Structure 1
Amino acid sequence: MKPLVIQILGDGKPGHENQSHGLAEAIGRTRKVQVTMVSLGGEKGAISRFRKAWRESSAHPRPDLLIGAGHAVHPSLLALARRTNTPCVVLMKPTLPTALFDLCLIPEHDLRKSTPPENVIPTLGALNRVPPPDTGPRKRGLILLGGPSSSHGWDEDALIDAVKRIVSNGGTWSATDSRRSPEGTLDVLAEVAPGISPYPHGETGPGWLPQRLAESAEAWVTEDSVSMIYEALSSGAKVGLLPVPSLKKGGRVARGIARLAAEGFVTRFTDWLPQFGLASPPRVLREADRCAEIVLERLIRR
């Protein structure tokens, strides 16, 4: 069987492009693929982005599938799909009508409670690039720091106290921050908890987090960082939530986190008992693999 040619339209934002690559890589675990990337980051205006998309796309093999995430790529994704007669998949809720796309993979917390149309697939969180867990031993622990956002504030003292309690039980711990993390927080953690090895996000490559998650028995993530929570749940690790103040207790992020806690996928720090450890999630979330099967079944001629 010849490789399935997948073309990704990127907007230059790592979070969006990682979702697209996560879907493409999941498809690649089922059948042979050839993935090409067309970056529209830095282009201003829909016409300019489409011209670049058409020019760069034409330099690659004709795609069998187009994938894109981020509002900036939506018009180019649709135009390229029509011009090449290629099915397209959009990730996250688009600003354009969902009926224009062949498939829309949208986190369920971004959807209304009514039954979605047939081409809309609700997902539990955003897709990611974390590979399926293996059966090897897991001995590490991982601390993942987000930062202040529209949905959450930041309480460094409470956060540091929680981490100190967690790592006081021993073990090998690594910690990393993110672009939103307040400057100096990671350094303070490493100073007050000598058992933690700090890895600033600017010094880690794209494969660092998936690899560390694959080695970790448990991962503690600040409650604001939805993407890292779902990445941890996709790795097979037990997942705990580090405390940060919620600014929108009835917002979509808070509702999504509350559901994960109610269904036993995550353990909040306030509910954690050191003598019992973190609870095992009811299942490993493999949303990218589930969606890959749907894409192949509905859009690809076998």
Structure 2
Amino acid sequence: MAEGGRPLRIWAVSDGRAGIEAQALGLAEAVARIRPALITPKRIGWSHGLGRLPWRLIPPGAQAGDPVGPPYPDIWIAAGRATLPLSTRMLKRAAGKTFVVQTQDPKAPLDRFDLVIPPEHDQLSGPNVFPILGAPNRITPERLAVEHARFAEQLDALPRPRVAVIVGGRSRAHDLPRGKAAEMAAGIARSVNAAGGSVMVSFTRRTPAPAREAMTATLAGLPGVIWDGTGENPYFAYLAAADAILVTEDSTNLATDAAATGRPIFVLPMQGHSAKLARFHAELARRGVAAPFVGDLTSAPYPPLVETDRAARELLRRYDGSP
């Protein structure tokens, strides 16, 4: 509880993009599972294209989107580059009365934050740094069960093994051109056909249209469903209903989400390379959580990854002033 026994007031601050917002909200929700809290999402942007500038050069007065002003929250949890012009100034603006948390590597002076929670593969260290494997997320057993139930009529009749195929796309380090996507889909189809199973396919906003088309052309011939981006998003239901999960190698979020289920995870190679993500996938493999996709759809069980809860406990320990 905060002062006077009231619930903690937490702001989850991001630019509103799904993957970024999920980190801030996921950590805030994990805190609220431990201690009563009221969570307010804040989606911010920067006017006149100023968001493309280095954070030091962006004046806070140019902030757009949801209002960010006093009374400030007890805990500020922010994710993403767009939040840095505010996060780096929040300790001063709130006169030290707001506990300021930043996920990811902020690439800013660490003394501007009370706590930084980056992925281990960023190799960031410091007295106020608490690295975790992967990224904070919003997945809990309860949420998976609820989302599965919402789509059960569509998914439970699919032949097993049910294979969730979660496809990212273009990033700074990776790409998924049509030829690579077609090759990827052909490998998936061979394995699913051999196992007598089905697919549940979800693309992301970063999946290039030619890659989406190439994969759909092949995977549509299998039993299963391919979400076309309209209607309610079945992403969490696909994870919950899956007997195995295939994720592309370009995203920390996708693999972390999958690892929260405890289901076998296989990583799909793309065009390009990231040393940081290679370290991440190597650690997942070391822990028996994930392996490169080579056609097999079975692996040994592992405990679901609960790094978000671990980070939330550390956040509250530091918020309470424990040494």
For 2:68 and 2:36, the matched residues in 1 are separated by 23
Contact 2:182 2:211 in 1 (8 A): no
Residue 128 of structure 2 corresponds to 119
Cα deviations by residue, 1:57-91 (Å, 9 ceiling, x for unpaired): 33xx6411111112222231243333322111011
Q: After superposition, where does 1:136-155 map in structure 2 within 5 Å?
A: 140-154=162-176, 155=180
1:5 to 5, 9, 14: 9
Distance 1:216 1:158, change over 3 A: same
Q: How big is the alpha-carbon RMSD for the aligned residues of Structure 1 and Structure 2? A: 2.8
1:203 equivalent in alignment to 2:230 = yes
Distance 1:78 1:273, change over 3 A: closer
Cα deviations by residue, 1:5-52 (Å, 9 ceiling, x for unpaired): 101222233322210001011112212211112322243333224697
1:194 equivalent in alignment to 2:194 = no
CA apart distance, 1:285:
1.1
Q: Between the two proteins, what is the percent identity of the paired residues?
A: 30
For 2:213 and 2:130, the matched residues in 1 are separated by 41
Residue 83 of structure 1 corresponds to 93
Q: After superposition, where does 1:188-267 map in structure 2 within 5 Å?
A: 188-192=214-218, 193-200=221-228, 202-203=229-230, 205=232, 208-245=234-271, 247-248=272-273, 251-267=275-291
Contact 1:5 1:34 in 2 (8 A): yes
1:24 to 25, 28, 52: 28
CA apart distance, 1:301:
7.1
Tell me, which stretches of 5 or more residues in structure 2 are unaligned?
51-57, 149-155
What is the TM-score of this pair, normalised by structure 2? 0.79
For 1:167 and 1:77, the matched residues in 2 are separated by 46
Tell me, which stretches of 5 or more residues in structure 1 are unaligned?
none
For 2:142 and 2:261, the matched residues in 1 are separated by 6
Contact 1:266 1:279 in 2 (8 A): no
Q: After superposition, where does 1:8-87 map in structure 2 within 5 Å?
A: 8-43=12-47, 44=50, 45-49=58-62, 55-58=67-70, 62-84=72-94, 85-87=97-99
Residue 279 of structure 1 corresponds to 300
CA apart distance, 1:120:
0.2
CA apart distance, 1:258:
2.5
Cα deviations by residue, 1:67-124 (Å, 9 ceiling, x for unpaired): 1112222231243333322111011111221122100001111125xxx222100111
For 2:99 and 2:196, the matched residues in 1 are separated by 51
